[in-house]
C-alpha cells in the first residue's frame, strides 16, 4: 500500500483509533480545501485539465460555506461527522474521488480514499496539488485525510471495511458486488453508486421556437455532456428523445445532428478507428435485432441510430458519439420506460411545468437528476438520489 497523500502510516496505524477530532465545517478543513481549489484554478492547470477547473469551482469558498450551511439543522438535532469514511472511486473518471472526499472532509470525517493504480494524469495533478497544499496546512489534515493506492488486495480492502463507518463505492455494479464481499461493522453501511444510464430529451416545439443561436448553444452544451468522457460517464446522455409532433420530429433530428457534427468538427473532436469500429459493431447489432431501423454514419465522430420504439433504447455503452433517437408525443410517454438504473435526464426546450409534471409522474422510480443541456456532467452534492452532505454526517437529537 502506497500513501499518495497524508501522513505516512502502516495499515495498522491507519485503522487504529485516532485522537484527532474534526467538526462539521471544521475551519482547518475549509481553509485547506479553499487553498487547494485555488491551485486547481491556476490557468496552466485548467488548460491542461478543464475538468479540474470545474472541481476548483465546486470547492471555492462560497460553495463550501453553502455546503456547510446545508449540513446544519434547524430542528432539535445536532449534526456531527459520521466518523471514518472509506472511499472507493472509479479508476477512470479522474476527479470523482475528489468530490466524494472533499464533501466528506468538509463534514469532519476521517477519510481514506483508494486511488486506482490506473488513475490518469488528472488524478496525478490533483495529488500534486493536495500535497503542495498540505505543507502549510494544519497537521491534523495529513493525520486524518489519506489517499492510498494498493493492488488487488482483499486484506487491505477488508481492514479498511472493518475500520469505516461509511463505505462509499463508486464504479458500477461489478465494483459494488465485489467490494460487498468484505463485511462492514454492524453499525456501518454502504453508499453505493451502481451502473447508471442517462438520457437527453429535446422538445420539438421548444426547438422550433428557439432562435438559431439558442439551438446552437443547446447543441454545444449537449456535445460537452456527450463527448467529454467518451459518452461513458454515468451522466453522459445516450439516447435522445424527441418529444412532440412526430411529423415535425424528423426535421428537428436532422438539424440537431447536423449542428452536432459542426460543433464536434469545430472542437476538433475525433474518434479513432477502434472506436469507429466499436460503434459500427454496436449499431449493426441494434439493427440486426430490429431494435434500430435506420443508421446514419455522416462521419466517424457522430453516429445516428433510429430506434424502432421508445422502449428499445440500449442501456449499455455503445461508443463515443453514438446517438440513438426515439420520438414520443409527450414526456408522459417516457414515464413507463424509465427505470431505477436511469440517472440524469438532460433537457432542452421544455416549459418548467412540463418538467415538474414529468418528475412527479416518475415518483422517484427512475431518474435522479433533471438538468438542462450542458449540465449533465456538473457534479452536485445531490447525486444519484443521495444528499451527500447528509450521508456524510450523523445526527444526535437533543430534547430538553
DSSP string over 335-381? GGG--TTEEEEEEES--HHHHHHHHHHHTTSS-SEEEETT-TT---S
For residue 331, the 8-state DSSP code is G
Between 88 and 367, name the residue whose CB sits nearer to other proteins.
88
DSSP string over 79-108? EEE--EEEEE--SSSTTHHHHHHHHHHHTT
Between 300 and 393, name the residue whose CB sits nearer to other proteins.
300
Between 145 and 300, name the residue whose CB sits nearer to other proteins.
300
Distance of closest approach, residue 391 Cβ to other proteins, in angstroms: 18
Distance of closest approach, residue 226 Cβ to other proteins, in angstroms: 12
Element (H, E) at 44: helix 43-48
Between 285 and 311, name the residue whose CB sits nearer to other proteins.
285
Distance of closest approach, residue 159 Cβ to other proteins, in angstroms: 15
Cβ 64 vs Cβ 71: under 8 Å: no
The rounded distance, in Å, linking the Cα atoms of 298 and 304 is: 8
Distance of closest approach, residue 79 Cβ to other proteins, in angstroms: 29
**Residues in the site for other proteins, rule: CB under 8 A?**
88, 90-93, 96, 116-118, 120, 151-153, 170-175, 178-179, 193, 195-196, 229-236, 272-278, 280-281, 284-285, 287-290, 292-295, 297, 300, 306, 317, 319-320
CA 42 vs CA 46, 100, 125: distances in Å: 6, 22, 12
The rounded distance, in Å, linking the Cα atoms of 343 and 331 is: 16
Between 84 and 116, name the residue whose CB sits nearer to other proteins.
116
Distance of closest approach, residue 346 Cβ to other proteins, in angstroms: 16
Element (H, E) at 299: strand 292-299
Distance of closest approach, residue 117 Cβ to other proteins, in angstroms: 7
Between 144 and 327, name the residue whose CB sits nearer to other proteins.
327
The rounded distance, in Å, linking the Cα atoms of 200 and 50 is: 23
Between 215 and 238, name the residue whose CB sits nearer to other proteins.
238
The rounded distance, in Å, linking the Cα atoms of 85 and 101 is: 9
Between 314 and 349, name the residue whose CB sits nearer to other proteins.
314
Distance of closest approach, residue 275 Cβ to other proteins, in angstroms: 4
End-to-end alpha carbon distance in the chain? 48
Distance of closest approach, residue 288 Cβ to other proteins, in angstroms: 4
Q: Which residue has the cell 437529537?
A: 397
In 3D, which of 192, 148, 158, 140 has the Cα closest to residue 391? 192
Distance of closest approach, residue 368 Cβ to other proteins, in angstroms: 14
Between 114 and 215, name the residue whose CB sits nearer to other proteins.
114
Distance of closest approach, residue 370 Cβ to other proteins, in angstroms: 19
Between 277 and 332, name the residue whose CB sits nearer to other proteins.
277
The rounded distance, in Å, linking the Cα atoms of 97 and 108 is: 17
List Cβ<8 Å contacts ≥24 apart for 25-28: 25/68, 25/71, 25/106, 25/107, 25/108, 26/106, 26/108, 28/137, 28/138, 28/140, 28/141
Amino acid at each position: 500500500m502506497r500513501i499518495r497523500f497524508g501522513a505516512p502510516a502502516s495499515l495498522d496505524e491507519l485503522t487504529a483509533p485516532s485522537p484527532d477530532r474534526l467538526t462539521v465545517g471544521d475551519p482547518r478543513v475549509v481553509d485547506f480545501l479553499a487553498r487547494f481549489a485555488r491551485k486547481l484554478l491556476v490557468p496552466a492547470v485548467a488548460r491542461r485539465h478543464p475538468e479540474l477547473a470545474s472541481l476548483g469551482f465546486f470547492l471555492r469558498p462560497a460553495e463550501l460555506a453553502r455546503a456547510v450551511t446545508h449540513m446544519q439543522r434547524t430542528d432539535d438535532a445536532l449534526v456531527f461527522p459520521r466518523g471514518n469514511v472509506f472511499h472507493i472511486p472509479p479508476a477512470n473518471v479522474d476527479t470523482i474521488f475528489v468530490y466524494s472526499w472533499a464533501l466528506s472532509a468538509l463534514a469532519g470525517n476521517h477519510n481514506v480514499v483508494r486511488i486506482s493504480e490506473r488513475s490518469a494524469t488528472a488524478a496525478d495533478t490533483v495529488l500534486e496539488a493536495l500535497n503542495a497544499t498540505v505543507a502549510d496546512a494544519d497537521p491534523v489534515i495529513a493525520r486524518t485525510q489519506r489517499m492510498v493506492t494498493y493492488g488487488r488486495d482483499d486484506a487491505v480492502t477488508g481492514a479498511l471495511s472493518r475500520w469505516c463507518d461509511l463505505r462509499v463505492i463508486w464504479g458500477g455494479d461489478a465494483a459494488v458486488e465485489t467490494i460487498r464481499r468484505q463485511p462492514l461493522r454492524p453499525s456501518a453501511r454502504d453508499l453505493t453508486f451502481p451502473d447508471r444510464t442517462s438520457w437527453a430529451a429535446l422538445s420539438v416545439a421548444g426547438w422550433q421556437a428557439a432562435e438559431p443561436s439558442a439551438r446552437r448553444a443547446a447543441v454545444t452544451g449537449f456535445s460537452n455532456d456527450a463527448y467529454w468522457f467518451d459518452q461513458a460517464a454515468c451522466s453522459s446522455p445516450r439516447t435522445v428523445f424527441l418529444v412532440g409532433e412526430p411529423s415535425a420530429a424528423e426535421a428537428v433530428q436532422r438539424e440537431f445532428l447536423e449542428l452536432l457534427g459542426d460543433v464536434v468538427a469545430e472542437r476538433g473532436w475525433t474518434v479513432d478507428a477502434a472506436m469507429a469500429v466499436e460503434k459500427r459493431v454496436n449499431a449493426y447489432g441494434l439493427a440486426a435485432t430490429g431494435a434500430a431501423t435506420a443508421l446514419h454514419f455522416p462521419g466517424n465522430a457522430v453516429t445516428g441510430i433510429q430506434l424502432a420504439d421508445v422502449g428499445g433504447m440500449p442501456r449499455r455503452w455503445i461508443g463515443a458519439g453514438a446517438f440513438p433517437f426515439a420520438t414520443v408525443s409527450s414526456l408522459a410517454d417516457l414515464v413507463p420506460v424509465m427505470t431505477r438504473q436511469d440517472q440524469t435526464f438532460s433537457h432542452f426546450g421544455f416549459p418548467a411545468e412540463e418538467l415538474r409534471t414529468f418528475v412527479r409522474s416518475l415518483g422517484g422510480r427512475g431518474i435522479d437528476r433533471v438538468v438542462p443541456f450542458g449540465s449533465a456532467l456538473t457534479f452536485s452534492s445531490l447525486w444519484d438520489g443521495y444528499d451527500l452532505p447528509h450521508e456524510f454526517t450523523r445526527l444526535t437529537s437533543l430534547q430538553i
